[in-house]
Amino acid sequence: MAKGITRERIVEAALDVLDEGGIEAVTLRAVAARLDVRAPALYWHVPGKQQLLDEMGTEIQRRVQRSLAALDPDTTWVDGLRAYAGILRREYLAHRDGARTFSGTRLTDPEVLRAQEPWLERWSSEGLPVAEAMDAAEIVTSYVVGFVIEEQERAQSEAADPERYSLAVRDAALGGDAPLVASVAHDRGEAGSRFARQLEIVLDGLAASSRRNPPPPSPPPSPPPSPGGA
């Protein structure tokens, strides 16, 4: 094991490589070069690229959990999911190809998994079954991943070709016989407002589903034993 090479340093170097060149640039060789070592020096910590991506994804989730830990402990499950979605989007956007790179990775740190326990406890105490809480979290995560992939791909394409999404070019191509199609592109708003608006639709659906399927009532307490044990 190369002296001074830690998993934390490897992950930070990998995130730097990602930001500079995108997901295709992230290789063990590129990360090793940034650390001024040869690739085999990393194998003790990350045997291959997938393990490297797992460690990167775990670090992003660690940052997400730190931000969530600062929320009011009395936050409702709907408000908690809203905050989670915003934090996750922010962390993905902080890195080039963030959503593509970090989604689907395996969490390697049990402490990151354990950090979910207090949230599940609070949400279940509100009457949301744990299975439904996990479904809701996965649905919100999928929304964030899909939105940010589209957001990042569009931003990178537009940076390379500023006219790629020109509304004037789009309007000219449509002509005048599709006014509704033409108008919606002008009314969409910027990415942040679209994200918040569409997230509320997702959360409203989850809340409505929870109201339609309330948890079964708790069984009544057992009667006290008769005197004398009869």
Rounded Cα distance, 132 and 144, in Å: 18
Query: Would you write out the chain's pLDDT as a tens digit for each of its 230 residues?
Result: 556 799 999 999 999 999 999 999 999 999 999 999 999 999 999 999 999 999 999 999 999 999 999 999 889 999 999 999 999 999 999 999 999 999 999 999 999 999 999 999 999 999 999 999 999 999 999 999 999 999 999 998 988 888 888 889 988 998 888 989 989 888 888 999 999 999 999 999 999 998 876 655 556 666 666 665 54
Buried b (16+ CB within 10 A) or exposed e, 33-52: ebbebeeebbeebbeeeebb
The CA distance from 14 to 104, in Å, is: 17
Per-domain boundaries in the chain = 1-47, 55-212
15: left (phi over 0), alpha (psi -120 to 50) or beta: alpha
Tokens 């990998």, located at residue:
14
Q: Does domain 1-47 have CATH number 1.10.10.60?
A: yes
Q: What is the CATH number of domain 55-212?
A: 1.10.357.10
- Whole-model pTM: value is 0.86
CB-neighbour burial class of residue 141 (10 A; exposed 0-12, middle 13-18, buried 19+): middle
